[in-house]
Copies of this chain bind each other. A is one copy, B any other.
Amino acid sequence: MPDRSDRSASSSRSRASKDAPTIYDVAALAGVNPSTVSRALTTPGRISGKTERRVRDAAEKLNYQANPMARALHTGRSRMIGLVIADFTNPVFFEVVRGAEKSAADQDYVVVLVESRESAENELRAVRRLLPVVDGIVLSTSRLADERIRELSAVKPLVLVNRVVDGIPAFYADIDRGIAEAVEHLRDLGHRAIVYVAGPADSWMSQRRATSLAAHCAQAGMGFSVLPSSAPTLDGGRAIAGAIRTGGGTAVVAYNDLMAIGLMEELIASGAGVPGTVSVVGFDDIFGSDLTTPRLTTISSPLHDVSALAVGGLIGLLDKAEPAAPSAELVTRLVVRESTGRGDLATD
């Protein structure tokens, strides 16, 4: 056994903190071999109760904490996972982040959070920066091409939230339920057609919503059209108001709440009542969507649970190499508030 007694003195590298106790210090105090300390602390039960107690006492006395870097070097696992979201300022991600943090903390993982600012290029850069340091990655509403995502998932385990790529574990709530309710709601109010204000062209979730909406409109005998937008933000919503007015649409479903809110604002500013002239439905039920005037009708998503499941799935992949379970029962629901109203009166 190397002589460790002068460790701190001989350490010439600048340690910002006072040298933390190591497993050797604990071993010395407990009068056992370092390997016994390691075993006592990591695989209790494989060691005699007496020894284990002695080691634990010593560790506690020294306030010992295993050095995660050293552990990681050996095990190849850092117990950190990367979470990539599109935009910090979009409240839709609050629950994604919280669900992930909760699930990770429960299993003693740390999550490293980064945002892509809705850019595939930023996203790729962020993932590359994270990759060496984390055990796995959660991509939420990724803007990356399928192929790129597959490449990344070859490097480290990776799971998807609100995105589907063949062969990659994906987690998302079933949107059909909420969309069916929204279409029914709008039809019952007398609307004859729905216009969908799309999200980013490379957004799988936006496509998915369009497809589902189209199908439900067809089934309900309603017209359906799609309007592309400039950005999935308040401004993107505002910018589309003109097109809605000239198009004469009476009911619009926006890709997300932020767009819906921006759209309402601009519609009202330009003299079109909401829901008097046009009804607006959002997506996600973000923090604050019940504070607008009028309060926003929207399709809510259990993002907290979706995200927690995704992290759980990823950790399962990591720890037990068990296949990630699908996000089974999670569904979206329509939350009716004040931004939707009669469509048969509005048209004339």
Binding site for B on A (CB under 8 A): 13-18, 65-70, 72-76, 78, 80, 88-89, 91, 94, 97-98, 101, 105, 110-115, 129-130, 132-133, 135-136, 154-157, 234, 261, 265, 287-288, 291, 293, 317-318, 321
Q: Which 9 A-B pairs have the closest CB atoms?
A: A69-B72, A69-B73, A89-B94, A113-B113, A16-B157, A15-B76, A69-B69, A17-B156, A68-B132
Known pairs A76-B15, A288-B288; A130 contacts B110 (CB<8 A): yes
Name A's interface SS.
mixed
Chain B residues lying within 8 Å of A114, measured Cβ to Cβ, are 101
- Extra contacts, 5 of them, besides A14-B321, A17-B154, A18-B154 (Cβ < 8 A), are A16-B318, A17-B156, A67-B73, A80-B133, A234-B291
Q: Do residues B73 and A73 form an inter-chain contact, with CB atoms below 8 A? A: yes
Name the B residues within 8 Å of A234 (CB-CB).
Answer: 291
Would A88 and B80 count as touching, CB distance under 8 A?
no
Which B residues touch A155, using CB under 8 A?
17-18
A18: chain B residues within 8 A (beta carbon): 154-155
CB distance B67 to A16 under 8 Å? no
Residues of B with C-beta under 8 A to A132: 65-68
- Write the chain B residue with the least CB distance to A117: B98
Taken together as a complex, chains A and B put the C-alpha atoms of A66 and B72 apart, in Å, by 14
Nearest opposing residue in chain B for A126, CB measure: B105
* Nearest B-chain residue to A155, judged by Cβ: B17
**Does the CB pair B112–A110 fall under 8 Å?**
yes
Question: For residue A72, which residues in chain B have a CB less than 8 angstroms away from its CB?
Answer: 69
Give A91 to B234 CA distance when docked, in angstroms: 15
Bound-complex Cα distance A72 to B94 (A): 31
A287 touches B89 (CB 8 A): yes
